[in-house]
Structure 1
Amino acid sequence: MLRVPDKRLALQAYEQILELILTGKLQPGELVNERRLAEILALSRTPVRDALLMLEGEGLLLRQGSRGLQIRQVRIEDYMDALQIRLMLEPAAARIAAGKVAGERLSQLTGQLQSILAEGDGKRADRAVVREVDEALHGTIADAVGNPQLSSIIRTLRRQTLMFDLRSMPERLGDTCREHMAILAAIGAGDGETAAAAMASHLGRVRDSIIQRLTRT
């Protein structure tokens, strides 16, 4: 019973540190200073330490012996490997999730995507809002499968790819919103095959855009 508040604080610290990583305030290769982080987050070192262990377990932090933990430098090869696994898992998750997500939730997510598009095809939208909606959409689909282990794996893979996404391809925001709405529409209609195809198409276009950008002369 006494550990519940500590667990809650650890999750709070986890989300805040993850935000610092994803927004670039903690740079790849930077060593993590536990005491400094505790001061920044206005938390004790215990929940911060627990949060850092969680992030290490997800592969976003690397242990450098006596030097402590370091923000992982995500290489393009790591990104592509993670995206390939997502292409195997997430279309299957979308197929299973079809017809299993509450209509209210689908309407909420669709409305948020439409709002982003209204901000000038997504190009002027707040990146934090875009990421929040993206996380909510993929997380909702993963959770609807009813397999906590699968959901955890998908979320971990997404965080690894998000570290690259946030620094690249802002021009894809509009297309991403429309692709997401197509996925939600298929899930709402209970059409598993169309949902799976829409998810595979979305992730495939993300992959192709990355390759195109890297090979651009």
Structure 2
Amino acid sequence: MLNAPDKRLAMQAYEQILGLIQSGQAKPGELVNERRLAETLNMSRTPVRDALLMLEGEGLLLRQGGRGLQVRQMRIEDYMDALQIRMLLEPAVARMAAGRVAPEVTRRLHDQLHALLAQKDSGPADRAVVREIDEALHGTLSEAAGNPQLSQIIGMLRRQTQMFDLRSMPERLADTCREHLDIVTAIEAGDGAAAASAMAAHLGRVRDSIINRLARR
């Protein structure tokens, strides 16, 4: 078992490597080089190795025999399976979180979402900012639900769906912001039924958008 300092370093390495994967700097199908990663992150190889094992456990990295670990290439079937599970779990989480999020947190989410909507006609939004707000909203609800195991499962599923190539759909930005605002408003009002309904509608529209895009190919 890792002691506290080792665990902290491993988590730092995990977050940084996860960021490389989610941003596309570590590309799907690419082999991961532990030594090079350690040099890039300015860390020893031990926390990097521990972080890679965690990412492998979450299914974001796949072991390729003696070749080492490879960034997982998400297939549409993998994405839709993960999204289907999210559609089962996240409305329940939204219901549980209703009325349990601090007012300053919901206020900040409101402000961030309105700011994104206000600048949608000024050009493409910064994907890192969009992803950060999206993660803050879904992560906040998972934590507020008060079930750490459920939160961990949803976090893993979200990381898997974020790896899919179609995760960036600029035409969905305004709709996503409005759908998120509906969720936040219901959470703020303590209306569990409305929060669950808004979350289900949001994930359903994400699914439908992806299906429509694939149908146009």
The SS at the match of 1:31 is coil
1:211 aligns with 2:211: yes
1:168 offset after TM fit, Å? 3.1
Pair 1:106–1:166, CA change in 2 (3 A) = farther
Pair 1:57–1:97, CA change in 2 (3 A) = same
Structure 2 residue aligned with 1:11: 11
- Structure 1 range deviating more: 134-143 or 111-120: 111-120
Structure 2 residue aligned with 1:100: 100
- 1:93 touches 1:142 (CA, 8 Å); kept in 2? yes
The size of the alignment, in residue pairs, is: 217
- 1:121 touches 1:174 (CA, 8 Å); kept in 2? no
**Matched letter for residue 203 of structure 1:** L
- 1:179 touches 1:198 (CA, 8 Å); kept in 2? yes
- Structure 2, gaps ≥5 residues long: none
**Matched letter for residue 10 of structure 2:** A
Structure 2 residue aligned with 1:51: 51
Q: For 1:115-194, list aligned pairs within 5 A.
A: 115-120=115-120, 124-164=124-164, 167-194=167-194
**Matched letter for residue 150 of structure 2:** L
Kindly provide the CA deviation profile for residues 102-127 of structure 1, in whole angstroms up to 9, marking residues without a partner as x: 11111111111111112225852211
Structure 1 residue aligned with 2:76: 76
1:46 offset after TM fit, Å? 0.8
- 1:99 touches 1:189 (CA, 8 Å); kept in 2? yes
- Structure 1 range deviating more: 108-117 or 133-142: 108-117
| 1: CA distance, partners of 2:167 / 2:206 | 13
- 1:123 touches 1:174 (CA, 8 Å); kept in 2? no
- 1:22 touches 1:166 (CA, 8 Å); kept in 2? no
Pair 1:134–1:123, CA change in 2 (3 A) = farther
Pair 1:165–1:144, CA change in 2 (3 A) = farther
Identical-pair percentage: 74
Pair 1:43–1:166, CA change in 2 (3 A) = farther
- 1:113 touches 1:177 (CA, 8 Å); kept in 2? yes
**Matched letter for residue 24 of structure 1:** G
Structure 2 residue aligned with 1:28: 28
| 2: CA distance, partners of 1:91 / 1:167 | 20
| 1: CA distance, partners of 2:47 / 2:90 | 32
| 2: CA distance, partners of 1:165 / 1:190 | 35
1:206 offset after TM fit, Å? 0.2
The TM-score normalised by the length of structure 1 is 0.96
Kindly provide the CA deviation profile for residues 137-196 of structure 1, in whole angstroms up to 9, marking residues without a partner as x: 101101111110000000000011111266531111111111101100001001111100
- Structure 1, gaps ≥5 residues long: none
The SS at the match of 2:120 is coil
| 2: CA distance, partners of 1:8 / 1:121 | 41
- 2:113 touches 2:181 (CA, 8 Å); kept in 1? yes
Structure 1 residue aligned with 2:110: 110
Kindly provide the CA deviation profile for residues 38-75 of structure 1, in whole angstroms up to 9, marking residues without a partner as x: 11111111111111011111100001111111100100
| 2: CA distance, partners of 1:12 / 1:61 | 17
